[in-house]
Amino acid sequence: PIDVDFKSKLKVVETFTAPSSHKIKVFGHRKGNEILGIWGEFVSVDYDICVGDGACIDACPVKVYEWAEFAGNPASEKKPLMAREPDCIFCLACENVCPVQAIKISKK
């Protein structure tokens, strides 16, 4: 599962601008698509654990996520990009449906 204390342990190494123009913070390590780290400050997904099954995308009532391609990532080549992270209503639906517990939702 995602390390729920990642924000105190990992640094922001990159900022990724989503198609929605929301700026997503990337924590930890990044080595191309091979190692992606944890994406999202409040809607956070460990992309090195995520298997890309899309349950979170289907579960979210406010469409926070959209598919993004990360060719070559060992865990999965498609990930749920938190493109509309500021829209999150903290319902925890995505966290609860994730089969590998890759998601952590935290309030500001």
- What are the beta bridge partners of residue 14? 26
Minimum CB separation of residue 31 from ligand SF4 in Å reads 27
Residue 15's φ and ψ, nearest 5 degrees, are -125, 125
Minimum CB separation of residue 42 from ligand SF4 in Å reads 8
Do 54 and 80 meet the contact criterion of CB atoms below 8 Å apart?
Answer: yes
Residue with Cβ nearer ligand SF4 (19 or 72): 19
Residue with Cβ nearer ligand SF4 (70 or 104): 104
Minimum CB separation of residue 93 from ligand SF4 in Å reads 4
Q: How far apart are CA 47 and CA 51, in angstroms?
A: 8
Residue with Cβ nearer ligand SF4 (17 or 96): 96
